[in-house]
Amino acid sequence: MDAIQVQGVSKSYGAQRVLTDIDLVVPAGSVFGLLGPNGAGKTTLVRILATLVRPDAGRASVVGHNVVTSAFEVRQKISLTGQFAAVDELQTGRENLVMIGRLRRLGRSTAARRADVLLERFDLAEAGRKLVKTYSGGMRRRLDLAMSLVTEPPVIFLDEPTTGLDPRSRQQMWSFVRELADAGSTIFLTTQYLEEADQLADRIMLIDHGVAVADGTAESLKVRVGGERVEFSFESPSSCELAVADLGEAVVASSPSSLTVATTGSAAEVRELLDRMDKIGATVDKVAIHRPTLDDVFFALTGGSPR
């Protein structure tokens, strides 16, 4: 079953086109990554799927409910964690969670039990009775995510959830996202962090200026920008010159003392290249094999710079 379906969705604000004919499908229980630079339209698409904004054209559904005609039903099935933590600083962490539970019509005792479970799960048990204004940025983000899980929704939207977090807090957030996916939740993740999408997403869509420019697994996107590369470092510039002259168009990049060659990355091919260097008298000092990354995909398909 597909948790999210989007067909031909477009959106403009005045004369500015924000989204153009977006199509995507997110299977239930998967992690979908929406990757793109600032202003690409990621948040607008999330707001449409969360029933906060109406599309100008196209249709979208979440868990089988149309986001325009069945907005109430959609809201019962989702949670949204935005770019900035939406917590009440004048309440304790536990009070925030109980409040959300009561607003979602849980009984008083049920809301309290659920709050305690989530505080423990997100490593906030000791801080649960402290005012949120004393929390660090990472603690606030964890509390914000916990608040969105009070009623265990099947679909969770995370709009750049790790923005501004230090590396340790970011790793913690990644662990929580993996746990949610393993438990069967569908995660729709927007991010500017290439590594984040690579680590978490089962499938990735790259959008730029509101247009989908690529869609697939991380590995399939990397294949689109080329295969592996072998970099040879030479003991002297003269050896490098000999190698460049011998390899010709196979060289994809070079410097006075190193060069890079496209390759399948197989041991046999690398060994053949090294034998070739020996035959022409080009002394190789070091060898390194590089695989394409999502950074390469980002640069190749958008022409922009990742965060």
> Encoding tokens for residue 220?
């399939």
Which structural domain range is residue 58 located in?
A: 2-223
Residues 194 and 46 in one domain: yes
Least confident of 35-44, 159-168, 264-273, 287-296: 287-296
- Give yes or no for a contact between 201 and 32, defined as CB atoms under 8 angstroms apart: yes
Instruction: Name the CA radius of gyration of the chain, rounded.
Output: 24
Q: Are 177 and 158 in contact (CB under 8 A)?
A: yes
For 155, 169, 187, 188, 289, the CA distances from 180, given in Å and listed in that order, are 10, 17, 8, 12, 35
Tell me: do 158 and 282 sit in the same domain.
no
The pLDDT of 268-287, averaged and rounded, is 91
- 191-246 per-position pLDDT tens digit: 877 788 888 999 999 898 899 988 888 877 776 666 678 889 999 999 999 999 99
The pLDDT-based confidence of 3 (bands split at 50, 70, 90) is very high
Run of H or E including 109: helix 108-121
Establish if 296 belongs to a structural domain.
no
Q: Does residue 94 carry a pLDDT above 90?
A: yes
* Nearest partner of 35 among 167, 168, 201, judged by Cα: 201
124, 142 in Cβ contact below 8 A?
yes
Q: Is residue 85 part of a domain?
A: yes
Split into its structural domains, the chain has a count of 2
Has residue 298 been placed in a domain? no
* Residue 206 shares a structural domain with residue 240: no
Residues 91, 94, 100, CA angle at the centre, nearest 5°? 85
Mean pLDDT rounded to a whole number for the chain = 87
CATH number of the domain that 261 lies in?
A: 3.30.70.790
Residue 304 located in a structural domain = no
Domain end (from 192, 207, 223): 223
d(CA 23, CA 11): 13
Look at 26-30, 108-112, 172-176, 183-187 and tell me which has the smallest mean pLDDT. 172-176
Sorted by sequence, the CB contacts under 8 Å of residue 131 that are 6+ apart come out as 89, 90, 91, 92
Domain assignment of residue 301, yes or no: no
Pick from 14-23, 173-182, 284-293 the range whose average pLDDT is largest.
14-23
Distance of CA 118 to the CA centre of its chain: 24
Instruction: Say yes or no: 245 and 172 in one domain.
Output: no
Does one domain contain both 107 and 202?
Answer: yes
Give which of 294, 213, 293 is closest to 41, Cα–Cα. Answer: 213
Does one domain contain both 30 and 138?
Answer: yes
Co-location of 188 and 96 in the same domain: yes
| pLDDT surpassing 80 at residue 120 | yes
**Where residue 305 falls among pLDDT bands split at 50, 70, 90?**
very low
pLDDT the model gives residue 306: 44
Same-domain status, 112 and 38: yes
pTM: 0.73
pLDDT reported for residue 242? 92
Separation of CA 234 from chain center: 38
One domain for residues 38 and 119: yes
Residue 301: the pLDDT is: 67
Q: Are residues 131 and 172 in the same domain?
A: yes
Of 75, 9, 65, the C-alpha closest to 42 is 9
> Does residue 307 belong to any structural domain of this protein?
no
* pLDDT tens, position by position, 103-119: 888 899 999 999 999 99
Residue that finishes a domain, picked among 223, 240, 267: 223
On the question of pLDDT at 91 being above 70, the answer is: yes
Domain harbouring 163, CATH code: 3.40.50.300
Instruction: Tell me if 24 sits within 8 A of 201, measured CB to CB.
Output: no
Q: Which residue has the higher pLDDT, 144 or 50?
A: 50
Phi-psi group of 138: left, alpha or beta (phi > 0 → left; psi -120 to 50 → alpha; rest → beta): alpha
Contacts of 94 (CB under 8 A, 6+ apart): 115, 116, 119, 128, 129
Kindly state the percentage of the chain with pLDDT values over 70.
92
- Residue holding tokens 């959300």? 100
How confident is the model at residue 285, as a pLDDT?
92
DSSP string for residues in 224-236:
HT--EEEEEEESS
Q: What percentage of residues in the chain have a pLDDT greater than 90?
A: 48
* Residue 300 within a domain: no
Tell me what pLDDT residue 13 has: 92
Say if residue 84 is in the same domain as residue 186. yes
150-175 pLDDT tens trace: 888 899 999 888 877 778 878 888 88
| Residues 192 and 236 grouped into a single domain | no
Lowest pLDDT segment from 7-16, 75-84, 272-281: 75-84
In a domain, residue 158? The reply is yes
Query: Do residues 230 and 266 make contact, with C-beta atoms less than 8 angstroms apart?
Result: no
| Type of residue at 285 | D
